[in-house]
Amino acid sequence: MSETPRTRAQFVAMAGAFTGGLLVPRAARAAAAAGTDRAVVGRLLLLEQLQEAFYAEAERLSALTGEVADAAQALGGVERAHAQALRELAGSAAPRVPRFDFRGATEVNGAFAATAVALEELTVAASKAQLTRVRSPEVLEAVIAIHSVEARHAAWMRSLAGMPPAPDALDEPRDAEIPARFLETTEPRTTARRDPTFPA
């Protein structure tokens, strides 16, 4: 027997389970679609899609164990929500999803944690570099709320990897692209949902 929402509140709660509860204000979507923030949102979306794919692959393979597996599942849900929120912001300007290759890092706890640290640190630094380029207050409010969550993830993954969660007093911005080693091919796919890595 399937469960269906019986009240508006239940529906919202269920939707929250899919989106992680991260709702993008309509004004933010309009601002991103209409303004110069589109490029910023597109860059951030690529990084979130990279993470989304990484954690989704880990979940799909189910090879991780213990705390690392628990963290992968938790972060996977959050990154899906971030990617979905940014896709909403980007609208029709959403970039195509590259094909990623994590080279086995989603199958072994140690490699997974080390790669997760690298991805989270990359996202924190690259998101920071984009913040000052945002023109719309609504879009800024949305992306900075994601930025600090990525920093929490970085600390969490660093701890799991046996590294200091907050090694420096200041986190510097860095203009960074997705490292080539994570890109399987330069041929883009048309949509994320055609990739079996991404659950529909």
Partner 1 sequence: MRAAMTRRRALVAGGSGALIAAGAFARSGSGAAPSAARSQDALAFLLALQRVEAGFYASAVRAGALRGELASFARAAADHERRHVALLEQALGARAPADATTEVPDDLVRRPGRFALTAVRLEDLVVRACNGQAVNLAPDALATVATIVSVDARHAAWIRELVGMSPSPETADAALTARAALDGLEREGLLE
Sites of contact with partner 1 (CB under 8 A): 19-22, 27, 31, 74-75, 77-78, 81-82, 85, 124, 128, 131-132, 136-138, 140-142, 144-156, 159, 164-166, 168-173
Torsion 44-191-181-74 (CA) sign: positive
Closer to partner 1 by Cβ: residue 144 or 183: 144
| Least separation in angstroms between CB 156 and partner 1 | 4
Closer to partner 1 by Cβ: residue 32 or 85: 85
29 half-sphere exposure, CB direction, 13 A CA radius: 11
| Least separation in angstroms between CB 167 and partner 1 | 9
Alpha-carbon 174 to chain mean position: 17
| Least separation in angstroms between CB 102 and partner 1 | 21
CA separation, residue 144 to residues 40, 44, 88, 94, 163 (Å): 12, 11, 16, 19, 25
Closer to partner 1 by Cβ: residue 37 or 57: 37
Closer to partner 1 by Cβ: residue 19 or 197: 19
| Least separation in angstroms between CB 2 and partner 1 | 26
Cβ(46)–Cβ(178) below 8 Å: yes
| Least separation in angstroms between CB 140 and partner 1 | 6
Question: Radius of gyration (Cα) for the chain, nearest Å?
Answer: 17
Cβ(89)–Cβ(41) below 8 Å: yes
Q: What is the largest CA-CA distance in the chain?
A: 53
Closest CA to 54 of 112, 128, 127: 112
Closer to partner 1 by Cβ: residue 57 or 138: 138
Closer to partner 1 by Cβ: residue 105 or 125: 125
Helix axes of 66-90 and 26-34: crossing angle, nearest 10 degrees: 60
| Least separation in angstroms between CB 163 and partner 1 | 11
